[in-house]
Amino acid sequence: MKKFNFDFFKIIISAVIFAISFIFKDNNILHLTLLAISYILVSYEMYIHALKNILKGEIFDENFLMIIATIGAFYIGEYEEALMVMLLFNLGEYLSDKAVDNSRESITKLMDLRSDTINLKIDDDIKNINIKDAKLNDVFIVKPGEKIGLDGIVIEGSGNIDTSSLTGESIPKYVKKDMNVLSGTTALDSVLTIKATSTYETSTATKIIELIENSEDKKASSEKFITRFCKIYTPIVVICAILLTLVPLMLGYSLNDWLYKSLVFLVTSCPCALIISVPLSFFSGIGRASKDGILIKGGTELENLSKIKTLVFDKTGTITKGNFAVQKMNSVDIAKEELLELAAYGEYYSNHPIAKAIIKKYDKDIEKERISDFKEISGKGISVKIDKNDILLGNSLLLTDNNINVPKVNEIGTAIYIARNQKYLGYIVIADEIKEEAFNLVKSLKKEGVNKVIMLSGDNKEIVEKVSEKLEFNDCYYEMLPIDKVNKVTDLKKENFTAFVGDGINDAPVMKIADLGISMGGVGSDAAIEASSIVLMTDNLDKISKAIRISKKTNNIVRFNIAFALIIKFIFLLLGTLGYSKIWYAVIADVGVTLLLVLNSLRLIINKNKLG
């Protein structure tokens, strides 16, 4: 900030000296001396930068163009105009830098997740320590209004936390004992005691900040194009400016007139607007996405989001919530509560996720003395005695093997059939619940230009096909191993630009092979951040459509900036060549276009809700 203040002060002093010089216009020596002082004050840094770039082999930059233009103006006696050009250019650079700096600062604030200290609990004392000194399993206190410094588990207290800085969701999240909390969130209304499950270096907040900071190193193809374009464009412009002077001179025209026109040509052609606005557009897009809880690793990934034509989803934990729960109970000649009780007692000694889901639904104490002769039958279910009654719990095969007829169940999920003393009592459906927003997923994605939505799963054919049909997916593939998913995505890539959405841990290989990898709700894992190009802070599927919209909006802004800058430059180049433009007009045009395009690039940050 001090540098910018000095730059502005330097411009003001130079402008004041320039104004004073007109008082002494009749005194030619004093007038020229004041102009020279003003010029040196406002331009000496440009000469230094130009010299450094020349030594590095980078000759044709904006500094070089302005220096040549002003020296040429001095040569033909346009002293005041030469100084006006330098003042206007420096003022434009200052304003552009200020706008860019402010935008970066605002984006950084959006991701202001770090806490410098934590309140470490040592026995009955609280000690405020630097967060970098905290260790795994340290216990710390977070007071209302304070940021949670490290990932951890709540061991005491309950209350609401603000997760908007991570997820983009404005509704507070209620947390209580034994629940996980992430660094970067804020305690709102109560004191929480938390046991650290990360260090400063491995915390979610640090990973996210590093990801945002590193995003600038990964340039989009548009940015790379502008870099290459400017390296070719600027030397061509200089050659054209030289020819614009020499050719008319050889034909007998006035040197001063055509030299002036060539100087206007040089100043007008300065590519500042493109150099500044295009990278800023991508940075603004990444910042906007971050605010909405979408972490994008770089400009390339942001640009590529709009190219997706085939979107492939993992099922468990992505389309579904990733946890088994009782979805339905159907009983025959017995109350549903009694059916659930028999199932809970029968499954008590099993470690299967289905057993845990039934016991969780029952949610009562189990009297173990009522259970005897527990036996698991591989691939079929359980045989057990409850109150000396013979109970069978399992799939249809288990009951039919015991000569018990069962109805066919047409439900999404796994049906657990139950019989007592050879009599069929009903079934309980256990399923991984589909996320609410998944029902509108295909429609919203197709609206954003995605042609195919496909599901890959290791689950059985019946469940996968039912989920796919219910959600109107274009296709689905079942009973797939990780290598099968890799092979399928490899094939799909040959047809269209293909992205894969998964949990970021189990699906790391297929994420790597896809054109674009998106991890759902896996922000706390290194595997998610490493394997995927895009990390969604929550497992909300709606974020994918929003990410594509942000990509499209960013690309539209970039295309507009490039087209607008080139059209305006072409107009002023034509006017300059025809003698209808002055050097300082060209500077104003260049500065004006740069500022307009900077503001246009910031629209994604400024207009929070407008992504149409």
Task: Please give the full DSSP string across 342-375, using - where no structure is assigned.
Answer: HHHHHTTT--SHHHHHHHHHH-S---GGGEEEEE
Distance CA 40, CA 53 (A): 19
Of residues 146, 132, 131, 284, the one with CA closest to residue 212: 284
What pLDDT sits at residue 131? 92
In the chain, the N- to C-terminal Cα span, in Å, equals 35
User: Which residues does 365 contact at the CB level (< 8 Å), separation at least 6?
Assistant: none
What pLDDT sits at residue 524? 47
- Residue 126 in contact with residue 119, Cβ under 8 Å? yes
DSSP 3-state of 132: helix
390 is annotated as an active-site residue: no
pTM above 0.85, yes or no: no
What pLDDT sits at residue 498? 95
Find tokens 């802004």 and name the residue: 557
What pLDDT sits at residue 332? 92
Helix axes 2-21, 28-55, angle to 10 degrees: 150
What pLDDT sits at residue 525? 53
- Expressed in percent and rounded to 5, the helix, strand and coil fractions of the chain are 55, 20, 25
Where do the domains of the chain lie, and which CATH numbers do they carry?
A: 117-207 (2.70.150.10), 321-434 (3.40.1110.10)
Q: What is the rounded radius of gyration, in angstroms, for the C-alpha atoms of the chain?
A: 34
Half-sphere exposure of residue 448, counting CA atoms within 13 Å on the CB side? 28
Distance CA 511, CA 515 (A): 8
- Residue 573 in contact with residue 269, Cβ under 8 Å? yes
Q: Which ranges of 56-154 would DSSP assign to H, the alpha helix?
A: 62-75, 79-110
What pLDDT sits at residue 102? 62
From residue 251, give the alpha-carbon distance in Å to each of 72, 242, 248, 262.
21, 14, 5, 16
Q: Which ranges of 144-191 would DSSP assign to H, the alpha helix?
A: 164-167
The phi and psi torsions of 123 (rounded to 5 degrees) equal 55, -115
Distance CA 319, CA 307 (A): 22
What pLDDT sits at residue 295? 82
Q: Give just the sign of the alpha carbon dihedral 257, 263, 266, 268.
A: negative
Residues of the chain with pLDDT under 50: 1-4, 524
What pLDDT sits at residue 112? 62
Of residues 300, 246, 247, 238, the one with CA closest to residue 267: 238
- Residue 558 in contact with residue 222, Cβ under 8 Å? yes
What pLDDT sits at residue 1? 40
Q: Which tens digit of pLDDT belongs to each residue from 423-439?
A: 999 999 988 888 889 99
Of residues 460, 467, 410, 411, the one with CA closest to residue 438: 467
What pLDDT sits at residue 320? 85
Q: Which of 314, 432, 459, 503 is catalytic?
A: 314
